[in-house]
Amino acid sequence: MSTLGIFDKTGQLLQKVMDLRQQNQDVIASNIANAQTPGYAPARLQFEDALAGAVGRDGQGMATTHPQHLPVGGGLDQVQGKVMRTPDRSGLGDGNNVNLDQEMIGLAENQILFEAAAQMLNKKMGLLKYAAQDGR
């Protein structure tokens, strides 16, 4: 994102949230599509904790002395979702572990949180516009 001061950390955070929610939507869509595929283990994208951790320490990551060093305690850019799968261990049925109702709730929740981030970004832009147009 721009290094200009007007696009601050909140903007970056919202952008990252939308990016991750988009990925999460793909993962949930995949689970719902495969709700009746034998042996399919549903996937979860976990990123909330990593994101919350990155918010507090953005820009205070450890300095790297070589381009190939992994950044330690890096900022928002480094936050990535982690895919977790939960295989069926019940031994009943066809080994498919998808709960359609739970996935639908996850879908709705993810969509609302995505839209919330989009709306907040919109409001921020609106404020910038208002300031740029001299309050008109």
Partner 1 sequence: MDIFTSMKVGASALKAQRMRLNTISSNLANVETTSTPEGGPYKKKNVVFRPVGTAFEKQLDSNLKGAVQGVQVQRISADERAPRMVYDPAHPDADPQGYVAMPNINVMDEIVDMMSATSAYEANVTVVQSAKRMALKALEIGK
In the complex, the smallest distance separating the C-beta of residue 32 from partner 1, rounded to whole angstroms, is 5
Closer by beta carbon to partner 1, 59 or else 93: 93
In the complex, the smallest distance separating the C-beta of residue 95 from partner 1, rounded to whole angstroms, is 12
Q: Dihedral angle at the C-alpha atoms of 50, 54, 21, 45, nearest 10 degrees? A: -10
Q: Which of 88, 114, 81, 82 is nearest to 35 (CA)?
A: 88
Closer by beta carbon to partner 1, 10 or else 122: 122
In the complex, the smallest distance separating the C-beta of residue 86 from partner 1, rounded to whole angstroms, is 12
**Residue in this structure with the two tokens 């990123």, named with its chain if needed:** 47
Closer by beta carbon to partner 1, 34 or else 55: 34
Residues 89, 39: contact at Cβ < 8 Å? no
Closer by beta carbon to partner 1, 52 or else 105: 105
Q: Give whole-number Cα distances, 108 to 27, 35, 89, 102, 122, in Å.
A: 13, 17, 27, 10, 21
Closer by beta carbon to partner 1, 59 or else 128: 128
User: 84 φ, ψ to 5°?
Assistant: -120, 135
Binding site for partner 1 (CB under 8 A): 18-19, 21-23, 25-30, 32-38, 40, 43, 45, 80-83, 85, 100, 103-104, 107-108, 111, 114-115, 118-119, 121-122, 125
Instruction: Give the residue ranges of DSSP H helices in the chain.
Output: 9-33, 48-56, 100-132
